[in-house]
Amino acid sequence: MLRFFLSYCWLALLFILSGCTEVKTYRIGVSQCSEDDWRMKLNDEINREIMFHEDAEVEIRSANDNSAKQIDDIRYFVSHGFDIIIVSPNEATTLTPVIREVYGNGMPVVIFDRNINDNTYTARIGVDDEGIGRSAATYARNLAGDNAKAIEIGGLEGSTPAYGRHKGFASEFESLGGTLLASVAADWNKEDAIRVADSLLKLYPEVNLIYAHNDRMAIGASETVRRLGRDDIKIIGIDAAPEIGIQAVADTLIDATFLYPTEGHRIIQTALAILKGKPYNRETILPASSAVDLSNADILLLQNETLKEETCKMRLLKARIDDYWAQHSSQTSLFYASIAIIILLFGVGFLLLRAYWQRSRHQKELMTQNRLLGEERDKQALLNSQLQEATQSKLMFFTNVSHDLRTPLTLISEPVARLASADNLTPHQHTLMKIADKNVRILQRLINQILDFRKYENGRLELRLSEVDFSRSVSDWMKSFHTIARERDMKLSLVCSPADTPMPAAIDVEKIERVFFNLLSNALKHTPDNGSITVSIEYDAQNIVLKVADTGEGISERDIGNIFDRFYQADRIHPRGSGIGLSLAKAFVELHGGIITVESALRKGSVFTVVLPVRHVAESAVDTEKRIDHDSVNSELGRIECEADTTVDSGKPIVLIIDDNRDIQRLIGELLNDDYNILTASNGKDGVAKAARYVPDLVICDVMMPVMDGMECCRRIKNEITTSHIPVLMLTACSMDEQRAQGYESGADGYISKPFDSHVLKARCANLISCRKRIKELWLTTSPHHNAGKDSDGRPQTESGASVTTPSDIDNEFYNRFLTIFKEEMGNADLNVDAIASMMGLERSQFYRKIKALTNYAPVELIRRLRLQRGRMLLTTTDKTISEIAYEIGFSNPAYFTKCYREAYGETPTAARNRLTGPTS
């Protein structure tokens, strides 16, 4: 629908635009050098001609005989976007540069009347000033007779008309026998001409003719002549402007004037031809005309008056035509607008009708969809009911199973507790039993939480209120946590307000005690060592406010609104609990009629707030049984100390265990302690650092850990040059194939699933270390310095021809770099392990452990072995002496070379050469 409406609007717009299309208007700028009668006549002709061209407009500016102002006028036309400039230069030399600049920038320029000292213009329309000067000389000779003596009053010095008029008059007048007594410039002005004429007449009293370059200067000379009483002097001028020159002739102020053509229409026509790309003459020189005297002055004045009247009529007619065209344009626009409105109305009507049809169709579709949605809603309600029944059945089954688990768990917990406290066990057995006893207690608490939560959901959880001193109870509960806090160098403090005052209240002690245990144990779990935890109590007649504030990890904004939901875990990637503790705490608090809230920010800690209403069931507080003791706290948060001998045996392989669960670390350590030296790390980041520092023989790594998970930890170990050879055994509670594939892609060498069998764990560890040892034994036989061959697939072979598994690309690159450096420095007798380690960019200890892990040789032994191999090859392939070979391979003493060679191969170098190549003669 919208597409049709836009189409109608576009069509209407086309109609309007077609009726309002404007024709391009050409802008013509005219720069006059001055304002005089002749130029006023020229301006009238230009304005009259422009009336015949609707596509053009003209602006005329006068410089008033000022060259600087004329330059500003020209730049004005350029800056205001005029299409063409018509210029009458005041002075040729001054105006030439600016006209050249404008013309060079691509703007067309027409020169008229006066000229410039260059040909940088588009067209020029001028008058034959020399011809006018010659015509004036011929007329003056005839007018003054045989004894013609003349003075010349010229125009502006430097203007081209003044130069041409003088040149033509002087040459022609003297050739006809006349005498030109003087020629002085009067700058085209009447006042200057009066002054010049007065001076020249005093100097040359014999003058009988005055030749002026324009009519104004001729009239000024006439006034001087009449004032001096020299009626015998004849005066002629140039321009023949009707109001000045021709009128002066008719009034006998001057004797004659010569017509200087204006041709304003020709100037405009030439400019428009240039703009429209039509043919035009670049150079147009108008011929000289005849003189105007008493014989024709009246006729010319009459013609001028007639021309003025016709011009007035033309302007009036033009104004009327403009009015008619304006009315026509407005009516045309109104017509097209009416058509567009009608079309739009038709379009709107069509759209409304179409919308009505669509609405009817949509109503039918909505009715059908509503019916289908109703049926789907009924199906969803049925499925939801079935799902609720299934969920309740599962929860009931889960509850029943939890009940059933309590019996075998009780049968397990008591024997385990007795064994953990027995005196006849070895330290190793004691540690294992403590781990079992701790986790049995945790399992008991989890089962109790599940059963209590089910009771709360079913509305069968009851309050058993007792009158207690709340602050004293909290203080007693906290005593069980102080040992754990001291072990971790944490500050655990209690603040009561008002201080040292009893806080009597009726609470279900067992339930509030479990709420407190949950909040404080969570704070201890998520607060790093050396942190602080503050428990505060605020008491008044209405409420008790209990706050537990820590400086731990904090909770993100995404999780903070859901942490009290059942089974919700804020850390879904690395969970540390079952997700039921806080939901059960909330249930216990709400059962008391209170509320529990949390305020937290990442890396800034958390503050849990419990508000309980104050109620009373007795007049005085009673002592209640304390359920939070040191054993229960230690089972949740304590660390099991190892009682076994932890001395390091240099002959045992090193195993690094990376797991965030300290009990798992301790269990695996106890299982492997007899055969391996054990190192531990609580997250992937620490694990990578310890692997690089100690270069263990095997890494056992959990998948789900904080800070850095097992996948990333394995990837970094395998990509680090100092640890890339170490086998990694992944330990996980998830047995999904996708996770296993990710682990193998990260470089893992094997997987063990939780729960694991100790025999399987030990066998897998021994197998991975054994495989690594076999690779060490085959390493040297596959090195570039050994003569072993390769099979058809390019894999190295032993001397027996069996293919072997090559180390990783990183290990190959490391060993090849070592061999390259050693080969280059082999002849250096001072070469040592520190020097090679520095060249490899490693610390000495890291280099030592890496070479030892790859080749089963210490670096010193490997260097000596490689030197001896090189010496053995030189003995059999060259004729060099024993001493030369010893020095070449880096032995500073040939005798020491012989000794080392005998220890390695059981014979002296000389005997070996004789045996392999035969005795030399």
Domain positions in the chain: 130-254, 446-637, 654-769, 808-917
- Minimum mean pLDDT range among 444-458, 667-681, 811-825: 444-458
Judged on CB neighbours under 10 Å (0-12, 13-18, 19+), 51 is middle
Residue 162: both structure tokens together: 């003044």
CA atoms within 13 A on the CB side of 767: 10
**Which pLDDT score, from 0 to 100, does residue 419 have?**
73
Helix (H, G, I), strand (E, B) or coil at 345: helix
- Minimum mean pLDDT range among 635-644, 681-690, 752-761: 635-644
Please state the pTM of the whole predicted model: 0.42
pLDDT for residue 797 is more than 70: no
**Which pLDDT score, from 0 to 100, does residue 153 have?**
94
The gap from C-alpha 733 to its chain's centroid, in whole angstroms, comes to: 43
**Which pLDDT score, from 0 to 100, does residue 734 have?**
63
Cis peptide before 161 (omega within 30 of 0): no
pLDDT for residue 613 is more than 90: yes
Helix (H, G, I), strand (E, B) or coil at 830: coil
Question: Running DSSP on this structure, what letter comes out for residue 242?
Answer: I
pLDDT for residue 462 is more than 60: yes
- Report the amino acid identity of residue 195: R
pLDDT for residue 804 is more than 50: no
In the chain, the N- to C-terminal Cα span, in Å, equals 112
Question: How does residue 110 score in pLDDT terms, banded at 50, 70 and 90?
Answer: very high
CA distances from 187 to 157, 163, 343, 731 (A): 7, 12, 70, 111
**Which pLDDT score, from 0 to 100, does residue 572 have?**
40
Answer yes or no: are the C-beta atoms of 819 and 830 closer than 8 Å: no
Question: How does residue 777 score in pLDDT terms, banded at 50, 70 and 90?
Answer: low
Q: Do domains 446-637 and 654-769 have the same CATH topology?
A: no
Question: How does residue 401 score in pLDDT terms, banded at 50, 70 and 90?
Answer: low
**Which pLDDT score, from 0 to 100, does residue 405 have?**
65
Could you say which of 1.10.10.60, 3.40.50.720, 3.30.70.360, 3.40.50.300 is the CATH number of the domain covering 808-917? 1.10.10.60
CA distances from 632 to 441, 445, 453, 716 (A): 7, 9, 20, 39
CA angle at 897 for the pair 895 and 900, rounded to the nearest 5°: 110
Q: Which CATH architecture has domain 130-254?
A: 3-Layer(aba) Sandwich (3.40)
Q: What is the pLDDT of residues 687-731, one digit of tens each?
A: 998 988 888 889 999 888 878 888 899 988 888 877 888 899 988
Answer yes or no: are the C-beta atoms of 222 and 235 closer than 8 Å: yes
- What DSSP string runs through 609-676? EEEEE---SSSS---------HHHHHHHH--PPP-S-----TTSPEEEEE-S-HHHHHHHHHHHTTTS
What SS3 string covers 678-716?
A: EEEECCHHHHHHHHHHHCCCEEEEECCCCCCCHHHHHHH
Residue 35: both structure tokens together: 């304002």
pLDDT for residue 109 is more than 90: yes
Report the sign of the C-alpha dihedral through residues 48, 50, 53, 57, in that order: negative
Phi, psi dihedrals of residue 86, rounded to the nearest 5°: -110, 125
- Report the amino acid identity of residue 879: D
**Which pLDDT score, from 0 to 100, does residue 643 have?**
47
From CA 726, how far away is CA 768, in angstroms rounded?
10
**Which pLDDT score, from 0 to 100, does residue 603 have?**
80
Q: What is the pLDDT of residues 582-604, one digit of tens each?
A: 888 888 898 889 999 999 888 88
- Report the amino acid identity of residue 56: A
User: CB neighbours of 833 closer than 8 A, spacing ≥ 6?
Assistant: 844, 847, 848, 859, 860, 863
Q: What is the pLDDT of residues 15-28, one digit of tens each?
A: 455 544 455 789 99
From CA 446, how far away is CA 580, in angstroms rounded?
9
Domain 654-769: assigned CATH number: 3.40.50.2300
Question: How does residue 775 score in pLDDT terms, banded at 50, 70 and 90?
Answer: low
From CA 87, how far away is CA 123, in angstroms rounded?
11
Proportion of the chain above pLDDT 70, given as a percent: 83
Domain 446-637: assigned CATH number: 3.30.565.10
**Which pLDDT score, from 0 to 100, does residue 646 have?**
47
The CB density around residue 25, as the number of other CB atoms within 10 Å, is: 11
Residue 129: both structure tokens together: 């000033």
Q: Which strand (E) or helix (H) includes residue 119?
A: none
Locus of tokens 């040459």: 171
Q: What is the pLDDT of residues 257-308, one digit of tens each?
A: 998 888 889 999 999 999 999 999 999 988 877 789 888 888 888 888 887 7
Query: Which residues sit opposite 506 in a β-bridge?
Result: 467
Mean predicted lDDT score pLDDT of the chain: 81
Question: How does residue 574 score in pLDDT terms, banded at 50, 70 and 90?
Answer: very low
Residue 327: both structure tokens together: 């009315």
Question: How does residue 790 score in pLDDT terms, banded at 50, 70 and 90?
Answer: very low
Query: Which residues sit opposite 124 in a β-bridge?
Result: 111, 283
From CA 87, how far away is CA 103, in angstroms rounded?
12
- Report the amino acid identity of residue 681: A
**Which pLDDT score, from 0 to 100, does residue 7 have?**
60
Q: Dihedral (C-alpha) 297, 302, 308, 312: value to the nearest 10 degrees?
A: 180
Answer yes or no: are the C-beta atoms of 488 and 514 closer than 8 Å: no
Residue 364: both structure tokens together: 């039918």
Question: How does residue 414 score in pLDDT terms, banded at 50, 70 and 90?
Answer: low
Helix (H, G, I), strand (E, B) or coil at 184: strand
